[in-house]
């Protein structure tokens, strides 16, 4: 099975998360391409997709938004997972967080079967507007790295397990339905909402 992991990242933290996810999928025997969302020109050869984005001021990165708009409706017969990286605290480890507006849109139009939220990273070494924001957040006590690699990797392993169980055939998309919370202590980890089968 061939999987695309695409992402939008300004400071590199979300790109690193996408890399961790890619490592876990490859360890499970899946063929995985890793790419910034803005660099993806064709999705026809992929049998599953994971799209992730950093969240800035409640909005997704432009690369992830662009991917969503360009490929809306292209995955009705293929499974898609989404993730966001943004909370600059431990809230993503403690319960279900609602998706941002852009994540909700992607859940609906791609469509996707699950969205996970992971902690973000903002350090004073960031440049440009991110650096300005990071220094302001540091003064407020919110700068730092709040990503949880173990939780992220566990989430990726749960995705890999689903893909390996389903096999390489198209037509595996769960029909859209209401979103329900997932047990934070379960294999999907905290901060996720998924569609009921």
Task: Give pLDDT, residue 78.
Answer: 96
Task: Give pLDDT, residue 110.
Answer: 95
Q: For residue 77, give the nearest of 3, 171, 174 by alpha carbon.
A: 171
Task: Give pLDDT, residue 99.
Answer: 78
Task: Give pLDDT, residue 124.
Answer: 59
pLDDT in tens, 67-111: 999 999 999 999 999 999 976 666 667 766 677 889 999 999 999
- Helices H / strands E in the chain, number of each: 5, 10
Residues whose CB falls within 8 Å of the CB of residue 92, separated by 6 or more in sequence, listed in order: 117, 118, 119, 146, 148, 190, 191
Task: Give pLDDT, residue 128.
Answer: 63
Q: What is the pTM of this model?
A: 0.76
Euclidean distance between CA atoms 114 and 106, whole angstroms: 10
Q: Which portions of the chain are predicted below pLDDT 50?
A: 170-197
Assess contact for 5 and 25: CB atoms under 8 A: yes
Ordered domains of the chain (ranges, CATH):
2-195 (3.40.50.360)
């Amino acid at each position: 099975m061939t999987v695309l992991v695409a992402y939008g990242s300004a400071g590199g933290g979300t790109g690193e998360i996408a890399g961790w996810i890619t490592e876990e999928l490859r360890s499970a025997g899946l063929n995985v391409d890793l790419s910034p969302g803005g660099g993806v020109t064709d999705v026809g050869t992929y049998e599953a997709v994971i799209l992730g984005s950093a969240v800035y001021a409640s909005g997704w990165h432009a690369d992830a938004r662009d991917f969503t708009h360009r490929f809306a409706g292209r995955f009705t017969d293929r499974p898609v997972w989404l993730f966001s990286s943004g909370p600059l605290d431990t809230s993503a480890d403690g319960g279900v967080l609602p998706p941002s507006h852009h994540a909700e849109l992607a859940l609906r139009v791609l469509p996707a079967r699950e969205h996970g939220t992971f902690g973000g990273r903002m350090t004073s070494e960031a440049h440009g507007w991110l650096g300005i924001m990071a220094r302001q957040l540091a003064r407020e006590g919110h700068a730092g790295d709040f990503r949880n690699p173990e939780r992220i990797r566990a989430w990726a392993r749960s995705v890999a397990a689903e893909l390996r169980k389903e096999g390489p055939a198209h037509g595996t998309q769960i029909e859209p339905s209401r979103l329900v919370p997932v047990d934070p202590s379960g294999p999907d980890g905290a901060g996720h909402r998924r569609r009921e089968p």
